[in-house]
Amino acid sequence: MSLLFSPLTIRARSFRNRLWVSPMCMYSAIDGIPQPWHRVHLPQFASGGAGLILAEATSVTPEGRISPRDVGLWNDVQRDAWAPIVDDVHQRGALIGVQLAHAGRKASTWWPWAPQRGSVPHEHGGWTTEAPSAVAFEGLATPTALEADDIDRIVAAFAAAAQRALDAGFDVLEVHGAHGYLLHEFLSPLSNLRTDEYGGALAHRARLLLRVLRTVREAAGDDIPVFLRISATDHAEGGFTPDEAAQVGLWAIEAGADLVDVSSGGLVAHQHIDVHPGYQVPLAAAVRAGGRVRTGAVGLITSGAQAEEVLTSRAADAVFAGREWLRDPHFGLRAAHELGAAVEWAPQYERARWR
């Protein structure tokens, strides 16, 4: 029996399999509101056999958006626009989560296919960014260092966005602590130069992340799974390390997280990454800490056999994929067919099941 296509229960949610869709930004929102694009884009993965679909980085504040075209959950109009998308996914048999995010110093940037690069000027809809310290990401505008009251405001914004996500019907809440965005910026000594209770030792650098996790867990109650995505290494000298990530993973579980979604990089432009199939899987294994922390693995996972090996090797408890789902929105059905796993197909697709 395929482990990849065995169910997994976390709190009161049962995932039909362990092959999940990573959050991937579409840069297609208007005023933070998901559009018809999102209503077609996300449910297609449910029809294609995904067990869980994580919606893209969804900002908890307007200034927390990566670009002016990012989705949000800072108001009720956005909440109401997400609800039918959630319903469409449920009707196709999958669960759906949302990644709650704040982009920090990497906010207010042009979307990938814009003719410009770098920070969006105020006159073109950009804004002043905020971060743990007034240290710019290479090529972007210098952010404003957050004061204590600003930090409290951001924690409250995560709590409010979590409640809106629940009201929209999402099954999972993921806190985005990876890829060089705000919570990751606090974790890394390369971007966090603070000397107060949020800087210095790892326990201090992790303080905001853990505060956010606790407030999201409080909003989620006892039934809804809470995930954390982290970058387990900065791939740069003097940065956040896998050993530190393993410790943060343990603290995250104590703070109410149920799974750590392990990625890497994104904090600095001068990172050096050896990219190859499954290159981040060992990081998930390190954070998993021998089974004490439930983890998800990601990173150029492109076949059912490869994903199955991640689980049977006990490197992770679930597998996330991104680009492969974009190339083939029916990756789940293809992987099940490859592994000979008995999974439910939509009756509309049954004719493709065996031949």
Structure tokens at 56: 């893209």
Structure tokens at 153: 């405001």
**E-only strand ranges, the chain:** 8-10, 13-15, 19-21, 52-59, 95-101, 130-131, 144-145, 172-177, 226-231, 259-263, 295-297, 318-321
Q: What is the spatial distance between Cα 150 and Cα 162, in angstroms, rounded to a whole number?
A: 19
Going by their DSSP bridges, the two strands 8-10 and 13-15 should be labelled as antiparallel
| φ/ψ bin of 200: left (φ > 0), alpha (ψ from -120 to 50), beta (otherwise) | left
Task: Give the active site residue among 27, 181, 279, 349.
Answer: 181
Nearest to 188 by CA among 174, 209, 202, 207: 202
Decide if 140 contacts 53 (C-beta within 8 A).
Answer: no
Query: What b/e string do you get for 162-196 counting C-beta neighbours within 10 Å, with b at 16 or more?
Result: bbbbbebbbbbbbbbbbbbbbbbbbbbbbbbebee
Query: Maximum CA pair distance of the chain?
Result: 63
Angle at 326 between CA 323 and CA 329, to 5 degrees: 130
Task: Give catalytic status of residue 349 as yes or no.
Answer: no
The residues assigned a catalytic role are 181
